Amino acid sequence: MGKKLKNTGLIGLGVVAGIAVSLQFSAMAQKPVEQPLPLEELRQLADVYGLIKSDYVEKVDDKKLLTEAISGMVASLDPHSAYLDKRAYAELREGSQGKFVGLGIEIGESEDGYIKIVAPIEDSPAWRAGIKPGDLISRLDNTPVKGMSLEDSVKKMRGEPHSKVSLTVLRKGEPEPLLFQLTREEIQQKSVKGKIVEPGYAWLRIAQFQDPTVDDLAAKISELYQQDPKLKGLVLDLRNDPGGVLQGAIGVAAAFLPKDAAIVSTNGQLSDSKQIFYGRPEYYAVHNESDALARLPAAIKQIPLAVLVNSGSASASEIVAGALQDYKRAQIIGSQTFGKGSVQTIRQLTADTAVKLTTARYYTPNGRSIQAKGIVPDLAVDEYADGDGLNALRPREADLDKHLVNERDQEGVHARHEEPEEQLRLVAQEKKRKPLEYGSSDDFQLQQALNHLKGLPVQIAKAETKLVQAALPASGNAGGK
């Protein structure tokens, strides 16, 4: 298997296959042009435009030509800048609000070229129809999915409310393919979920940072404390969290850090991209709403905390992990994160279109840049007891064409590149596993995080398999940088 595997994507969310974002929404900034326009190059552009109009084999629509020119110009900058047409802009706004029109399934790319069902979203069309984790989609509306990109398959599964789509599904143990006829509907997705995993210990997962994330987090933490007022430890799960709205990341970190702590700083060309963001409501409250964190139990600032990350943890989730790591508020557990250390600002062009433009790099409270490097865990713990699954094969920021360099650490930390034989072995091993359900009793990394919080031995990465005695963080260890 020569290609690296793509990260999991969520149907209907604006982030697919690990190309993650920290989003800020803004009106179009009118910045004076500091240098004269390159007239010769503009003439060449006009000449090419004229040649296409006069010589191409068939007529080409003017709007298509100019839109594609804009799209190509923006996309040439880095992997995260993009022109957003009407559909893409609408999808991004829906994803940031935690709702979308689709089928309600979390998907990934399988080693056989099919679309793998990671999990259906509860009470979605896919969930009600009986779609199961581990199912493989072989056809969408009778179109084979082999050779189709994950992003294109997402687009085919999206659509208008009440419209229909058919899925041909291969299921282990079933002799014949299964055919599902699903009706698209608006899916309301909660970005935060959690539960008491055992007396005194809770698990809190953030799937993506959205507009409602801070409110959802505050509600879920309050609910957990109602169930167990004497919580002794909390595991914050950011695995495969691809990022999202910057305010959400600031609010989540602020929930666990001292009042008014610096969470993240940014630096770019514009003056408003040179900022420090603090754990205050004006930095994390979306639409100037009330401060959801003011309702949290005071004990949340002191509770021993562990944070789970992996190669799919990107951007906004790395902001949270980096801040908690810098303040020594939590132990970061898992594998090296994706390494996307840039902020994208949405500049609206028309009522229906926008440009998603990289406007700044971001830095942890201690001034670390994670761009093309990622967050290195304090405790490297594999995904399974016998190894790290496919984490080593997934692409990271440093693997993407035209990625920004880490100007503060030119060497960075790159993803491991396994030999072909090892890749084949990992893929074959993965085929035998049942789908991993985060938060379950079979979740090996969660069990190791709980061991750490209890001061019990932790099994670290298979590369150097050994047990280490966890150092239980002191109560209230949320010191400064």
Active site positions, annotated: 315, 326, 340
Q: What does each C-alpha distance from 237 to 1, 82, 331, 418, 454 come to in angstroms?
A: 30, 29, 12, 27, 17
Report which of 188, 240, 191, 180 is spatially closest to residue 215, judged by C-alpha positions: 191
DSSP 254-302: HHHSPTT-EEEEEE-SSGGGSEEEESSHHHH-GGG---GGGGS-GGGGT
Residue 267, judged by CB atoms within 10 A of its CB (0-12, 13-18, 19+), counts as middle
List the beta bridge partners of residue 266: 275, 362
CA–CA separation, 370 vs 350, rounded Å?
33
Helix (H, G, I), strand (E, B) or coil at 345: strand
Positive or negative CA dihedral for 373, 378, 379, 381? negative
CA–CA separation, 253 vs 265, rounded Å?
13
Report which of 309, 374, 348 is spatially closest to residue 24, judged by C-alpha positions: 348
Geometric angle at alpha carbon 471, from 196 and 436, rounded to 5° = 45
Helix (H, G, I), strand (E, B) or coil at 234: strand
Report which of 123, 115, 161, 113 is spatially closest to residue 140, judged by C-alpha positions: 115
For residue 323 the two structure tokens come to 């801040």
Q: Residue 401 CA to chain centroid, in angstroms?
A: 19
| Residue 446 contacts residue 453 (beta carbons within 8 Å) | no
List the beta bridge partners of residue 100: 187
Positive or negative CA dihedral for 248, 251, 257, 262? positive
CA–CA separation, 208 vs 211, rounded Å?
10
Segment (H or E) for 307: strand 305-309
